[in-house]
Amino acid sequence: MAIQTVATSPIPGQRPGTSGLRKKVAVFQQPHYLENFVQGVFDTLGNASGKTLVLGGDGRFHNRHAIQVILKMAAAHGFARVLLGQGGILSTPAASCVIRKHDALGGIILSASHNPGGPDGDFGIKYNASNGGPAPEALTEAIYARTLALAQYRISDAPDIDIDTPGAHAVIEGMQVEVIDPVADYAELMSKLFDFDAIRRLFAGGFTMRFDAMNAVSGPYAHAILEGMLGAPAGTVINGVPLEDFGGLHPDPNPVNAEELIDIMSANAAPDFGAASDGDADRNMIVGRDFVVTPSDSLAVLAANATAAPGYADGIAGIARSMPTSQAADRVAAELGVPCFETPTGWKYFGTLLDAGKATLCGEESYGTGSRHIREKDGLWAVLFWLNLLAVRSASVQEIVTAHWQRFGRHYYSRHDYEAIATDSAQLLMQDLRIKLRNLPGQKLNHYEVQAADDFEYTDPVDGSHASQQGIRIMMTDGSRIVYRLSGTGTEGATLRVYLERFEADPAHHNIPTQQALAGLIAIADSVASIVMHTGRTNPTVIT
């Protein structure tokens, strides 16, 4: 074995987005593409001598090849040890758990999260720091800057190693590769946070559930914890084997893409509880019998009932939510007397708040919920939290949520996505909106009066870092909101996300169909932004 220095040149477009670098598989298969980005990561990190790296991914196509490349490059850069998920499998929340438990320098996670997989699908890579969380923007910008100056990368010429047999393997250039059980550390942590005895009794008493792993990485975790440790009947977990193309499914846990689960939960003999997770297991959808819980409501309900779980028995220090997420959690925080932080979209913005002990629970409207236990959102964690709550409350999902609305009011909420639109058109739409902002306050629009309008900016209360142009907000005098934002998670064109929120205090008006309740705001959103003119789209691609 020998370390080789390979000549290369910068490849445009390797700036990480909201959660790492995501491109089509064919892009990552280009000569030097993966190697250049990994070299940029290692150069930015500096001396790795004696350090541990965590490595794994969601099992999608190209994952196994990328694992071998990264192992050889890590060896060439002096790492002492790599902890590798068996078969290259390691969910994003489990990777965060392993980084923290084993005091690793950081980890490389191979995933495009909820994006489709397969040879014609998407691939992604991101670096998580020593706290287990996504690299902060300063670090990702430094990595990107380094990719623009590369002239070479270093890699061992060692043969591929067996990544499927647990245990320590022969060293590569002095670096030990340890293939670990991807579930063990994570399952141990979950057992400390939740009342597993109460959940076992729940299942033993006849409680039924379906968990849709969407042929993605949460399958092994759900099998081991739900059906293994907690005694849920065999068959509780469906689509539980990770497949390179996710079996043709789009592994995004929402009512549109998790159609099989929605059909099961809408049937006459539906299980008591339903849930789904995404490609890398960091997202979740919670479903009752013919009743879908919005991610915003899920965060608020868990915050209001946090002390039901042993890991949160002492209460919570605060809540953090992304700006487009509904303000339902704000009302819970106010009653609990704790702060609620409004951050830009991207889990990395929660990291400093969690590290400083300012927030305990965090959530994003894009089906992401998590807490201080790791530094990533965590799909199965949210499901276990709900199971713990259901075991304690002896009520259905719908009963718990409707009781929450009666106590705090209901935030009608929806997101309209316009996917794969021309990037130039999307940018022009946002530019035109920014020009209109100053004239919107005071205007009356379709029975609503605009109180304020801005382009959201954020200054981190812990480290003072600043982020601007994080989404355009139009806020009404009655608390309703319209938010426009371009997504950073797609790989084709641009995705315009339009978020709509209306607060209703009166329980007598809590059962209006969501799109009907939001109809006035939808019309305003289309009109103010001239969506049809800019995009050519008369309807959203996806409504959630």
């059962």: which residue's tokens? 511
Q: What is the pLDDT of residues 31-55, one digit of tens each?
A: 999 999 999 999 999 999 999 999 9
**What is the reported pLDDT for 488?**
60
């890590």: which residue's tokens? 74
Q: What is the pLDDT of residues 83-126, one digit of tens each?
A: 999 999 999 999 999 999 999 999 999 999 999 999 999 999 99
Query: In 52-122, where does DSSP find H-type helix?
Result: 63-76, 92-101
Phi first, then psi, for residue 355 (nearest 5°) are -60, -35
CA torsion 90-92-94-96 (nearest 10°) is 130
Taking Cα atoms as reference points, which of 21, 13, 25, 23 lies closest to residue 38?
21
Q: Return all residues near 42 (Cβ < 8 A) that are at least 6 apart.
A: 48, 73, 74, 77
**What is the reported pLDDT for 170?**
76
What is the CA 500 to chain-centroid distance, rounded?
20
**What is the reported pLDDT for 168?**
73
Beta bridge partners of residue 417, listed in sequence order: 497, 542
| 487 is a catalytic site residue | no
Taking Cα atoms as reference points, which of 97, 99, 122, 104 lies closest to residue 112?
122
Residues of the chain scoring pLDDT < 50: none
Taking Cα atoms as reference points, which of 408, 420, 527, 425 lies closest to residue 474?
527
Cα separation, 536 vs 173, in Å, equals 56
Please state the pTM of the whole predicted model.
0.95
Provide the strand spans (E) within 344-493: 361-364, 368-371, 410-421, 444-445, 448-455, 458-459, 466-467, 472-476, 481-486
- Joined together, the tokens standing for residue 138 give 């300063």
Structural contact between residues 32 and 7, judged by C-beta atoms closer than 8 angstroms:
no
The DSSP secondary structure of 107-121, one letter per residue, reads EEEE--TTS--STTS
Structural contact between residues 117 and 62, judged by C-beta atoms closer than 8 angstroms:
no
**What is the reported pLDDT for 233?**
97
Q: What is the pLDDT of residues 476-493, one digit of tens each?
A: 999 999 999 998 655 578
Catalytic annotation, pick one of 19, 111, 113, 326: 113
Please, what is the end-to-end C-alpha distance for the chain in angstroms?
52
Cα separation, 180 vs 168, in Å, equals 8
Q: What is the pLDDT of residues 386-408, one digit of tens each?
A: 999 999 998 999 999 999 999 99
**What is the reported pLDDT for 17?**
83
- Joined together, the tokens standing for residue 317 give 């220090």
Q: Exposed, middle or buried, 17 (CB in 10 Å: 0-12/13-18/19+)?
A: middle
